[in-house]
Amino acid sequence: MTKTITIGGLHLRFIQDKADTAGSATIFEMTVEPAARMPIAHHHESWDETIYGLDGVSTWRIDGQDVQVGPGESVFIKRGVVHGFRNDGGEAAKCLCVLTPGILGSDYFQEIADLLAKDAAPAAMAAVMTKHGLIPSPGG
């Protein structure tokens, strides 16, 4: 059963959550609306990310370099590398995100969505990130 979570201009549709794969992977489709972005650059030590472009173009800032990912293109983000993303285009960008192993799941994204709905302080967001293994980047 799929679950969809909206966080501002991001829409995440979970295809396989960490519990579905016994922690092997978390797989979700992410739609990034125009001008939407990951507000806090971060890294994580316990999982890698593979991003595969489906529609539109998203820009991923990976270790200080911008990488555009369009339909049929992919990028691999190894653990420990600071990254974030944004949509600079005029149309929504959609990509498939695969996290391996599946340590981070929909529970993290739901907590973030709930905090945003309450207009929580940035410190509360950073605390949830840290609790789930995401390490905010200084100045990110």
Domains present along the chain, CATH in parentheses? 3-136 (2.60.120.10)
Q: Is pLDDT above 60 for 140?
A: no
Q: Which pair of tokens denotes residue 98? A: 């695969």
Asked if 28 contacts 21 with a C-beta cutoff of 8 angstroms, the reply is: no
CA–CA distance, 56 with 69 (Å, rounded to integer): 8
* Cβ pair 43, 72 in contact under 8 A: no
Across the range 11-20, mean pLDDT stands at: 97
- Residue 1 pLDDT: 58
Q: What is the pTM of this model?
A: 0.94
Q: According to the model, what pLDDT value does residue 78 have?
A: 98
**Residue pointed to by tokens 């049929």:** 72
pLDDT tens sequence across 45-96: 999 999 999 999 999 999 999 999 999 999 999 999 999 999 999 999 999 9
What is the Cα Rg of the chain in Å?
14
